[in-house]
Each structure stands twice: as C-alpha cells, then as structure tokens.
Chain A
Amino acid sequence: MVCQNCERSEATTHIKRVVNGDTAETHLCADCAAHLGYGDFFSGFGLNLGELFGGILENGLPEAKSAKALRCSKCGCSFEDIVRDGKLGCAQCYTTFYDKLLPSLQRIHGRIEHNGKVSKIAEKSTKKKSHLEKLREDLNAAIEEQNFEQAAKLRDEIKGMEG
C-alpha cells in the first residue's frame, strides 16, 4: 500500500479512528507520519479536532481565500491560517473574524448564542458600557445647555475610558 499523503513510499503507519461508530483509516509512510505528528504512539492517540474543524471551515466556506487580506491585529493570524490549523491565534481573533466564523459555529454547535456561566469580566464590561452611555448622554445634555466647561470634562473622561 502506498502512503496516502506523498503517494510515493510504502505506507507503514496505519491509523484507525472510530468516533461515534464511524471508522476512518489513514495509511502513511514513516516520513509523512512523523511530519503529520504521528511520530509516536501518543500524538496519534486523540482525535485532532483542530484538523476536523479546519475541514468544516474550508468545506463550508469556499470563499475563505478572499479574506486573505484581513489579519488579526493582535496575533497576526489571517482567516486562512485559522482554516489551515483549525485553531484561532488569540481571543482577539474571535472579534476580528466573528462574522466569518458564525456559519461554522452554527454547524458545530447548532446554536450561536452563549447561554451559560458568565465571566466576571463581562459583568465589568457591561457596567463600563452603561457608564459610557450615561457619560455620552450627560455630554449631549451639557452641549445643549452650552455648558462647555462641563462638556470638555465629560469628553476627556469618555476618551480616557475608551482609550
């Protein structure tokens, strides 16, 4: 049997995965097996969900390549990188590629709205948001009242919070 990856050498590593009753077999030569991370017993032990997820993204979004130009400002990941690895680079990626990720999230989970425990950090940001809204309202009111000294103060405070 020839290696399914390079299609040249004899396949010596045989990987069989059974998840929920579906069997998938992969046959690789020693070099390709090492290259793909099946070099030892344990790297092939678990199912690489990342690969699977990458597959889902790619199949689901053939236009993925057109998103090439956009990169995450924090880690530098492009959407192509995410599709290839099945992994995101950092938390910021979720904001950067949110719209592109949604169809896949829908496919994986069936739903796209979190409905569970809420981190303290979100409680804080909700408070910050409502505080900012209040400041903006006050700012508008101060401008209407032509209270420019107060307006300047409020503007600086808003800038400080947004910074």
Chain B
Amino acid sequence: MNNKWYIEKGDQGDVVLSTRIRLARNLKDFLFPARLDAKGRQTVNETVRDALMEDNTYEFGYLEMKTLTRSQAVSLAERHLISPEFASSVDGRALMLTKDESVSIMLCEEDHIRLQVMKAGLALQEAYAIADEIDTALDKRLAYAFDERIGYLTQCPTNLGTAMRASVMLHLPALTRIGHINRLASTVSKLGMTIRGAYGEGSSPKGDLYQLSNQITLGITETSALHNLQQIAIQLVNQEREAAKLMLKNPENNDKIWRALGVLQTARLLSGDEFMELISLVRVGAANNILNFGLEQLNELIVNMQAATINAREGKNLTAAERDAVRATAVREALKAEG
C-alpha cells in the first residue's frame, strides 16, 4: 500500500484527521487569473513549473487539468488536494503534485499560485515549515506581487497580508450531537477563525467532519495565526473527547455505534450520505476503544468512498445506484471480521 498522508494517523489523530497550510502568491507582471487570457495563464503555469523544477528539494509532477476526466478532477477535490472550484473549471489551470500527495500547487486558481501542504493529524508547525521552504525557493526565482504595507497581493482582498490559510480537519460527532457546534462557531469567529463542514455544506455536515481555519491574514504574523489556531484546535479536541465520553456512557448511544457497524458490514446498497453518517459513528467507536479498527483505515475509507473517487477508480461514470452497490461491497470488505 502506498502511504498517502491522508491515511496516516497523526498527533491528536482521534479527533484531528489532517492539517492543511495554503499560501496564495501572484506574479507581479501578470494580471490576476480571472482577467488573464489563455496564453497568459499558460505562461504563468509554465513559469512557475520551471521555477519549481530548478529547485530539487521536492519532486513534483505537472498536470494540465483539462487532460483529466471530470471524475478524476472531482476526486482530487474529494481528497482535498485541490479546491472544488479548481475542479469545476479546468481551462488554463494546472496542478503540481508530489508523489505522496502531501504538497500540491494549484496554478491559476483564484491566484496564480496556491501552494498547499497537507499533514496527518495536528501538525501546523511542520506543515508550515514545508510551505515556507518551498515558498522561499520560489520567491528566489519569481517576481512576486508584494507590497510592503499590505503584504502579498491577492486577487481577493480577504487573503491579503500573509495570504496564508491554515486549517485543521476535525471529527466532532459528540459536539455535533449535543448541539454545541453553532455556539462554538460564533465563539471562534470572534477570534478571527471560522469553522465549517468539510464535506458538503449545511447545518449538519456529512460525517461530522469540520474544517477550522484562520480568517484574518492582514496584520498578524504567520506564527501568531498558527499559534492561535493550534490553541483553539486543542481546546476543541479536549471538548470533543469529554463530550464523547459522556455520550458513550449512555447505552443507547453505545448501541447506535454497534448498529452502525452492523449496517456497514451487511448492507448491499450504501448511499454517500448514509455511509458518512454511519462511518462517523464507527469512527467515534474506534477512537474510544469500543470498536477495534485502526483510525488510519477508517480515514482511508472515508476518502475512498466519495462519489467521484469511486468513479475515478472504476474508470467510468457509474449511476448512483451502481455506485451505491460498489460502495457497499467495498465497505463490507474493508470492515469484515474485525471489531
């Protein structure tokens, strides 16, 4: 098995699935992507590619997005390697990706360069160190759009300054069930951060998976922003653990976990929504030593059972019903005879 970052279990791995750092950069001599013509985009993509190839620290593949099928593109978004927006419109866009998929660079997304580093678990400092290193290497070879007063210049002013978005993906099933997410959301927004569903929008995101990220980028150093995010993430981790302990004392909730496992181990058809709801329960069971599954295995299953990722692996566009059958079979196989 090839070890992708997203199936490992990292620090605080019972609650924190992954950490992501994203830096936005633009080249000063080109119009921002929305106003840049096809030829200009191509030039930007190749200029950045060549600059990266000169620096040998990391080995990147270069992929023009228009060469991918729609399922392949959306699957990259489901694995959080690119943004959904990047997958939805592929013209003039290119992706650079390391073999282990831990570093990806979206070219001509909203900004010329969107450099992204992913790590398993809570690893903000480690992920930033890598992003910083690659950014510094690129800075040496490219002419960045930068202003001493307002920092890195971005197409949308909400990203000005450090142009850094740091986020952690959290599994918060217990806090969701006791209805604490809205209260937490308004608290973190006062601290310059935001929390939202990681898969799908809505008041109850699929799989109880959330992204916590910094919102403010101007006037705050990278170090402070990361420090603040780390503090809040740790608090959420502790609150979730407490809430989960309480939740699991109730025999009814304990029963729900076993029933969820039962359905996943036997179902012949599994929709994406039902799968996410049940796997969330199984995951909280595994994280609290009720069920005997590795969290890495469950994390991998969550990523692999998304619709476009299934299509991409099957190499064709399945109907929803066909996909539900494929999903059920794969989940039965993955979860059999354990637990």
Contact = CB atoms under 8 A, between A and B. Distances in A.
A117 B150 contact: no
B218 A105 contact: yes
B125 interface: no
A20 B150 contact: no
Contact of A110 (B194, B195, B216, B221): B216
Contact of A112 (B150, B164, B197, B203): B150
A32 B195 CA distance: 29
Given A43-B85, A91-B28, A109 B195 contact: no
Nearest to B34: A87
B155 interface: yes
Interface in A18-50: 18-21, 23, 40, 42-43, 45-46, 49-50
Contact of B144 (A49, A115, A121): A121
Interface residues of A, number: 49
B237 interface: no
A20 to B, nearest CB: 4
Contacts of A23: 203
A20 B144 contact: no
A88 B85 contact: no
Contacts of A86: 156
A111 B87 contact: no
B188 A20 contact: yes
A78 interface: no
Interface stretch (B52-60, B179-187, B238-246, B284-292): B179-187
Interface string A87-115: 11111001100100100110011111111
Contact of B84 (A45, A50, A77, A115): A45
A114 B194 CA distance: 21
Interface of A: 16-21, 23, 40, 42-43, 45-46, 49-50, 52-53, 74-75, 77, 85-91, 94-95, 98, 101, 104-105, 108-122, 125-126
Interface of B: 26, 28, 30-32, 34-35, 74, 77, 83-85, 87-89, 110, 132, 135, 139-140, 143-153, 155-158, 160-162, 164, 181-183, 185-186, 188-189, 192, 194-197, 201-203, 216-222
